[in-house]
Amino acid sequence: MQQPWLWLPLVLTVASASALAQQPVQHLPKMGGCPLGYYSSGSYCVPSSSGNTRGAIEKAGSSCPLGFYSSGNYCLSSPSNEREAIQKSGKGCPLGWYSSGGYCVKSR
pLDDT in tens, 10-32: 333 333 333 456 899 999 999 99
The predicted model gives 82-89 an average pLDDT of: 93
Q: How far apart are CA 108 and CA 20, in angstroms?
A: 7
Residues in the chain: 108
pLDDT at 21: 64
Percent of the chain with pLDDT over 70: 81
Q: CA separation (Å) from 53 to 23, 28, 104, 107?
A: 11, 13, 22, 23
The predicted model gives 66-93 an average pLDDT of: 93
Q: Does residue 84 register a pLDDT over 90?
A: yes
Q: What is the pLDDT of residues 32-79, one digit of tens each?
A: 999 999 999 999 999 998 778 899 999 998 999 989 999 999 999 999
